[in-house]
Structure formats: C-alpha cells, structure tokens
Structure 1
Amino acid sequence: MKYLLLLATAALSASAIPNLKKFLDPDELIDMVNNKRSTWTAGTNFDADSLPKLQFTGVLKNPNRTLLVKEHKTGRNLIPDFFDARDYWPECSKISEIRDQASCGSCWAFGAVEAMSDRICIHSNATKQVSVSAEDLMSCCGLTCGLGCYGGFPDSAWDYWLKSGIVTGGLYGTNDGCKPYSIAPCAHFNKFSSEPACDTEVITPMCVSTCDVPTLTYNNELTFGETVYYIHSDQDQIKMEIMINGPVEAAFNVYEDFLYYKSGVYQNVGGELLGGHAVKLLGWGVYNGTDYWLVANSYGVEWGDNGYFKILRGVNHVGIESDVVAGLPKL
C-alpha cells in the first residue's frame, strides 16, 4: 500500500496538477489555432483568471493493470458510418447528460459513472434509469483508485464497481439518487459569475455509507458491474463495443489548446501537455471529410459544443484509442 501511495504521488506531481504552471495567453493560443485553419475552431471557454485554479486533468498511470482485454470476433460489416448513442437509445435520457467535475480532478470517476449509468439503462431495456454516483466512487474507492480529486485510475474505477458496488447519485444541487455530487461548480467561465470563485484547495469528500436523501438506504442504492474489461485499441473494436453495449470510458493526453475547443474535429495544434483526462465516448462519424469520435466531457455545458467535442478518429490521436475501458451491469 505504501508503494502504491508513493507511485500515485509521483504520478500526481507529473500530471494531475498541471495548473501550478503559467498558462499561455488565451488570445494568442486561440488565434494560433484558428489561423492554422485546422479541422476545428477555438474560442473562449474559461475566464483567464480561473485557469490556474482548475483541475483539467486527473488520470494517473496505473501500475497494476489487471483487467482482461475484450475483443469482438465478428460484426465489422455491421458498423455504420455514423453512430450516436443518444439517438440509438433515446429512451435512456442519462446518455445526453453533461456533468461538471468542478475544480476537482475527478474526470476518471466521471467518465466511468457516466458510462455505467448509460449501460444500466441500455441493458435493462430502459426499465432502470439511474445516475451512478461520482462522489461515492471517488471518495470510497480510496488508494485503490488513486487520489480522489487529485487523480485516479479509470480501470480501477470499473473494477471497484465490480467488486464493491457504487451507489446512485447525480448532479450537484439535486436530490437525484443516494449521493449527488457535493462539489459546487465554480466560476470557470465568467469572472462576474454568480457561482463561487474556483479554488485550488478542493478536498476529496469523505467516504460515508449513508445517503444524502433520508428516504434512501445506502445498501439498497448500490449498483454493481457483472464484468469489466479493457477494449482492444482498434477503432472497429471500440465502435462495436459502443454499438452493442453502450458508451465507454476513454483516457487521452490533454494539451493546452484542447481547453479552447468550440467546434469541429479536435486535433492537437499547439500548447503544452497538461496531463491525462478521462471522458465518455458515445459515437463516431465524419465531419467535413475528417473521421471523429463523439465525446461527452465533464467540464459542464458551457464548455465546447454544449459540453461535447469531436476528436480525430482512427490514428490513436493523443492516445484516445489506447486506454478504453467498460463493463456490463449486474441487473
């Protein structure tokens, strides 16, 4: 355990707290992207004063990768050119939900619970529609999953769902499930926002085995995975997994220009490497001749394209296809 803590701490110092550095000038970076006439357009997503105070990344390198790799043997001939899980399973409303990790490096937990929530609905034929709690996962998994608000391991998050279970819980300020997210969205976007100022000293919430909603019982609200696995880093394998079983969690390397994404198909143009980030992949397609993955981010609905972005597909750009993990729910 001590070895794991030291390893995680070393990884943390390298990638989970990129905001100790000075960011490039936002206007200069936006102009650089747009002047290059790339496949995407940059714009303002964050108030410049809040940039050094936010945790944009939170994926640590796991020294104990233990999940098996799942491979689909057949089905490539059935893959369509375009796929959007929101349209394919319209009865599962959580697929369209964009969450906000606030100023906490909990993306590793958000990408996991978002896909878990979607898959519970999909595999129950929409008879069970719940939000799996990011709060419960990041606070109760402990060092097995990483360091909470200071980064974690996406694959360990899924393994925890399999072995220990995660209760229900939705967005901040709601009564959705047992343990809704307790960290308030901060004023990332506008210095004149009514939301509280962003804080670099966000503390991972304590693990408690009670529900915030008095009428709910913790043990009764637990959800579990039946099986969890990595997905082979091949775009057709990832497509088939999404098409058959639902959205997946993916991790990739975030460069500074990504923070300014507004539309189009993202590919790195410039800026420094900030660290690893986890997201939810829910589809694919082609935009102006460029292949893309459709992705839900966890920076809130004011970021990017209403909380979503497209990213270059098929060449493992910034590692988006090399660390994909998912599982099936126990119903």
Structure 2
Amino acid sequence: MIKKKTATGAVAAVPAFDSRTKWPHCVHPIRNQEQCGSCWAFSASEVLSDRFCIASGGKVDVVLSPQYMVSCDSTDYGCDGGYLNNAWAFLAGTGIPSDKCAPYTSQNGDVAACPSKCQDGSSVKLYKAKNPQQLNDIPSIMEDMQQNGPVQAAFSVYRDFMSYKSGVYHHVSGSLLGGHAIKMVGWGVDSATNKPYWIIANSWGPSWGLNGFFWILRGSDECGIEDNVWSGQAQL
C-alpha cells in the first residue's frame, strides 16, 4: 500500500467537498453502535446505504442493517471488531437486508444468531455491493468520493481523541486504544488554522463531536486514516 502519497496538488485544486451537500437526501443520519465493537459493520453498511441512494438517483433509499453483518459475517468478529476487506467481501458475496428487516440489537454487546427471516417474519431481501476496492492514494479517495459517495476508512484511536469536541484532530498525547472504522464523507480546509481535513461521520451518536461528525488532519496519513480506505458500487 502507498502510505504517504500526500498529493498536495490535489489538495490545492479541490479545496472542499461534502457528500452531504452534493447528495443531501442520500447521506443518512448518524447512528450509534453503543457498547459493541461493531464500527466496522456500521461504517460499511452506512457507505453502501448512501451509495444505493446515490447510484439510483434516490429511488433506492434504504438504511441497511449493520446487525446482519454483526450476526452473519463469520469472517469478522461481531462485537469484537472486524476487517474492512472482509466486510466488503461479505457485502459483495452475501449482501445485507434493510435495517427494518434486521434492526440493531447488539447495543449491549450481545450478538444474536444470524436470522433466516426478517423481524416481522417476511423473507430477507439482500442488497449487495459490487467491485469492492481499496483506495490506495488521496487522489483515488477524492475521485471515488466525488463520483460515487462516502467511503469507509479506519484509523488508530488514541486517548486524546476521546475528548474531541471540534476543530481538526491530530494525535498529540495519550496511549493507543485500538482501531476504529468510520464513514468518510468529504474534506475541507479549516479557515482558522489553514489545516486540511477529512470530514468523518462517526457512529457514536449525534451528540458526540460535531453533531456526530469530526474533522481529522488530511494529507499526512494522520493516525493511519489514509492507509485503509474502501469502497464498492451498489449492485442495482
């Protein structure tokens, strides 16, 4: 993987982009994974949800089920975490139903068995991804996001991130707590500090950070944020 291809020219050429502005009805609301290490499933399912809406011009506007991934993706680890490449392989190979079909039940860390029917007893309709890919440099990340919508990324969480309230985050102090997967929706440059940043949707509820979002330093692989970025197309 190309780790630190900063592409400063791309930063200058494209000063800001926000999926929420380009596709305001397709970037779905912030969610909350609660006491379950299911960030990998939330961010992957949220990216695919948004991309179904975007690719269909709003005709397929569905919130997809992170719970189905937590319960059914045997290549990952439920509430104990997962891998982005495995998550996208599952989305492409198996697919996931709507959140209405399989609502989130792992708030307390308990993982139910993989359901064979929807909660209401109806048949499970699966929505699939196609052509999952890792985006290995900043221009590729930007181009994919501008054309197709939000992408999934992962980064290392340090203790100082837990007290984030606003501004452009970069790691200053505190020990490593672990990895975290999130949905990347855009980028910009902070007018106060002139620092470039990625706009990130977290899955810790809308009361956290910037109404559930945060900014993280862009262009220098801050906390590995540019190392492990994935996307896939909606299979309409």
TM-score, length-normalised on structure 2? 0.91
Q: Is the 8 A contact 1:112 1:249 kept in 2?
A: yes
The within-5 A match list for 1:281-320 is 281-287=184-190, 288=192, 289-320=194-225
The alpha carbon displacement at 1:132 in A equals: 1.1
Distance in structure 2 (CA, Å) of the matches to 1:240 and 1:134: 26
Distance in structure 1 (CA, Å) of the matches to 2:47 and 2:36: 19
The alpha carbon displacement at 1:157 in A equals: 0.7
Are the structure 2 counterparts of residues 308 and 321 from structure 1 closer, same or farther at C-alpha, using a change threshold of 3 Å?
Answer: same
The alpha carbon displacement at 1:213 in A equals: 2.9
Q: Is the 8 A contact 1:285 1:294 kept in 2?
A: yes
1:97 has 2:97 as partner = no
1:258 has 2:161 as partner = yes
Distance in structure 1 (CA, Å) of the matches to 2:77 and 2:128: 22
Structure 1 partner of 2:143: 240
Identity %: 43
Structure 1 partner of 2:112: 205
Structure 1 partner of 2:3: none
Distance in structure 1 (CA, Å) of the matches to 2:47 and 2:167: 23
Q: Is the 8 A contact 2:158 2:175 kept in 1?
A: yes
Structure 2 partner of 1:65: none
Are the structure 2 counterparts of residues 131 and 79 from structure 1 closer, same or farther at C-alpha, using a change threshold of 3 Å?
Answer: farther
Q: Is the 8 A contact 1:79 1:240 kept in 2?
A: no
Distance in structure 1 (CA, Å) of the matches to 2:37 and 2:138: 27
Residue 166 of structure 1, aligned match among 66, 86, 96 = 96
The alpha carbon displacement at 1:226 in A equals: 1.9
Distance in structure 1 (CA, Å) of the matches to 2:90 and 2:176: 29
Structure 2 partner of 1:123: 55
Are the structure 2 counterparts of residues 269 and 77 from structure 1 closer, same or farther at C-alpha, using a change threshold of 3 Å?
Answer: closer
Aligned residues: 226
Q: Is the 8 A contact 2:66 2:104 kept in 1?
A: yes
Deviation by residue 1:166-193 (Cα, 9 ceiling, x = unmatched):
1111xxxxxxx21111134xxxxxxxxx
Structure 2 partner of 1:150: 80
AA of the residue aligned to 2:180 = H
Unaligned runs of 5+ in 2: 1-9
Greater share of helix: 1
AA of the residue aligned to 2:211 = N
Unaligned runs of 5+ in 1: 1-75, 170-176, 185-198
Distance in structure 1 (CA, Å) of the matches to 2:106 and 2:77: 16
TM-score, length-normalised on structure 1? 0.66
Residue 175 of structure 2, aligned match among 257, 272, 281 = 272
Any idea what SS the aligned residue of 1:262 has?
coil
AA of the residue aligned to 1:297 = N
Are the structure 2 counterparts of residues 79 and 126 from structure 1 closer, same or farther at C-alpha, using a change threshold of 3 Å?
Answer: farther
AA of the residue aligned to 1:229 = Q
Are the structure 2 counterparts of residues 279 and 298 from structure 1 closer, same or farther at C-alpha, using a change threshold of 3 Å?
Answer: same
AA of the residue aligned to 2:133 = Y
The alpha carbon displacement at 1:79 in A equals: 5.6
Deviation by residue 1:140-180 (Cα, 9 ceiling, x = unmatched):
011x1x210011111111111111111111xxxxxxx2111
Any idea what SS the aligned residue of 2:182 has?
strand
Any idea what SS the aligned residue of 2:128 has?
strand
Moved over 3 A (4+): 76-79
Any idea what SS the aligned residue of 2:167 has?
strand
| Larger CA Rg, structure 1 vs 2 | 1
Any idea what SS the aligned residue of 2:50 has?
helix
